[in-house]
């Protein structure tokens, strides 16, 4: 079994509860003395075995190994990655059936994390996720007042567009934003715009 760690909670003594996303599930595992294991970090891709609990409480994680990426020792890349991936746990925790899109998206992005600007990759992945879930609001009307959008828009959480005056947000070029929606690419955007989009993303998926 392998998957990405997207949350870690302290349990009793030095045990921890580890939330892992894999191809088809989001599952909590119990790890004895997990607080001692440096491998157990949010964002790590891990391979492990599962043993069922004797009291049917929670499956145990054992024989743990880390599947590393070249960027793992870059503090900047690692911080952005952890801030990005930990957003998935609150978003998906109540999902009954999980398709492979989410794990595959994370794996694809992780494999490119050191080859491109990681904030751009995070923004592009987020737009792909919104499109996959049918949440891209691109009909040309303000999400707040429902009037036609002008040449500039502000973005809410989930990249919902509105008049900047309706949400007291920085103004962005509407054509640039809608091009991002259509292409899932940030190549046409300046770094300062990408930074703004990244910080909106951090509000939550």
Domain ranges of the chain: 2-67, 116-201
Whether residue 88 contacts residue 102, with contact meaning beta carbons closer than 8 Å, is answered with: yes
Whether residue 123 contacts residue 186, with contact meaning beta carbons closer than 8 Å, is answered with: yes
Give the per-residue pLDDT at 56: 58
Neighbouring residues of 196: CB distance < 8 A, sequence distance ≥ 6 = 170, 172
**Residue 20 above 90 pLDDT?**
yes
What separation in angstroms does the CA of 154 have from each of 44, 88, 139? 34, 24, 15
Specify the pTM.
Answer: 0.92
What are the tens digits of pLDDT across the range 47-104?
998 887 666 578 888 888 999 999 999 999 999 999 999 999 999 988 878 999 999 9
What is the rounded CA–CA span in Å between residue 171 and residue 73? 36
What are the tens digits of pLDDT across the range 137-188?
988 999 999 999 999 999 999 999 999 999 999 999 999 999 999 999 999 9
Tell me which residue of 180, 170, 76, 80 sits closest to 122, measured CA to CA. Answer: 80
Give the per-residue pLDDT at 32: 72
Determine whether 76 is exposed, middle or buried from the number of CB atoms within 10 Å of its CB (0-12, 13-18, 19+). Answer: exposed
Model confidence band, residue 105 (pLDDT cutoffs 50, 70, 90): very high
Superfamily of domain 2-67: Nucleic acid-binding proteins (2.40.50.140)
What is the rounded CA–CA span in Å between residue 136 and residue 116? 24
Model confidence band, residue 35 (pLDDT cutoffs 50, 70, 90): low
What is the rounded CA–CA span in Å between residue 16 and residue 28? 10
What is the rounded CA–CA span in Å between residue 27 and residue 168? 39
Model confidence band, residue 33 (pLDDT cutoffs 50, 70, 90): low
List 61's β-bridge partners, or say none: 50
Question: Cβ atoms within 10 A of the Cβ of 26, count?
Answer: 21
């Amino acid at each position: 079994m392998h998957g990405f760690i997207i949350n870690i909670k302290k349990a009793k003594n030095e045990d921890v509860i580890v939330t892992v996303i894999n191809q088809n599930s989001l599952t909590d595992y119990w790890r004895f003395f997990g607080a001692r294991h440096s491998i157990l970090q949010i964002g790590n891709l891990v391979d492990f075995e599962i043993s069922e609990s004797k009291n049917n409480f929670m499956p145990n994680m054992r024989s743990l190994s880390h599947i590393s990426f070249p960027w793992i020792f870059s503090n900047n890349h690692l911080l952005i990655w952890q801030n990005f991936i930990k957003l998935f746990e609150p978003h998906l925790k109540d999902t009954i059936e999980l398709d492979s899109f989410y794990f595959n998206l994370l794996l694809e992005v992780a494999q490119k994390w050191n080859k491109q600007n990681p904030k751009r990759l995070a923004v592009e992945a987020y737009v792909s996720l919104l499109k996959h879930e049918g949440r891209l609001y691109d009909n040309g009307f303000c999400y707040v007042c429902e009037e036609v959008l002008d040449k500039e828009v502000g973005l809410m959480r989930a990249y919902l567009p509105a008049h900047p005056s309706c949400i007291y947000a920085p103004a962005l070029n509407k054509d640039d934003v809608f091009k991002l929606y259509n292409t899932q690419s940030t190549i046409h955007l300046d770094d300062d715009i990408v930074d703004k989009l990244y910080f909106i993303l951090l509000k939550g998926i």
